[in-house]
Amino acid sequence: MNNCEALIIGGSAGSLDVLIQVLPDINPTLPFPIIIVLHRKSGKESLLTNVLSTKTKLKVKDLEEKERMMASTIYIAPPNYHLLIENNQTFSLDASEKVNFSRPSIDVTFESAAQVFEENLVCLLLSGANSDGTSGLQTVKKYGGRAIIQNPGSAIVPFMPEYAMEHVAIDAILDPKEMANYINQLQND
């Protein structure tokens, strides 16, 4: 196994519940960042970062344009922008057209990160109601990274992980109660 240099978690409807279950058990000294891309409505203030920061000992922050990613930090993609990962491992925000009816699009982030991290990328796709994430996971696999999905049977809205499972060679299918342990083990690979 290759070292994990970044974990990206994508999700839509039903995925916040999963994050709230998983984050308390994640090792606060992970040697890589976690980037969360959720479909959500835009608003002036994001409560998401505040909610998630109460569930973990890791630092949780809204990511900023051109910010360099750091280990042991959870970055939250802002609403209404696509999140791209640059070759120098900084973030880039883009307001171009929606992809799969979504901005941020999980596909856009997975695909750009795959080209940067290649075999050292792990992507986890959670509950959701559309096919966003599947094309991105295909790209992750093409570059040698790992594609993980939530067990559709445990998802509030199973379409997103089910669709990925039908179209991608998935490396692991996890229930929420298995996710923290899987993530913590990534530092030992």
| pLDDT tens track for 136-175 | 999 999 999 999 999 999 999 999 999 999 999 999 999 9
Identify the band that residue 66 occupies on the pLDDT scale cut at 50, 70 and 90. Answer: very high
Report which residue type is found at 21. Q
Q: Is the pLDDT assigned to residue 44 strictly greater than 80?
A: no
Q: Quick: pLDDT tens for 77-90.
A: 999 999 999 999 99
Position 122 pLDDT exceeds 60: yes
Taking the C-alpha atoms of residue 136 and residue 113, their distance in angstroms, rounded to an integer, is: 9
When the pLDDT of each residue in the chain is averaged and rounded to a whole number, the result is 94
CA 102 vs. chain centroid, Å, equals: 15
Rounded-to-integer distance, Cα 90 and Cα 6, Å: 12
User: How far is the C-alpha of 138 from the C-alpha of 49, rounded, in Å?
Assistant: 29
Q: Which of the residue ranges 39-53, 57-71, 107-121, 168-182 would you say has the lowest mean pLDDT? A: 39-53
Is the pLDDT score of 188 beyond 90?
A: no
Residues with a known catalytic role:
12, 39, 132
Q: In which band, very low, low, confident or very high, does the pLDDT at 101 lie, cut at 50, 70 and 90?
A: confident
Q: Which amino acid is at 123?
A: C
In this predicted structure, what is the pLDDT of residue 3? 87
Q: What is the DSSP letter of 104?
A: S
| DSSP-assigned states of every residue in 146-174 | EEEEE-GGG-SSTHHHHHHHHHS--SEEE
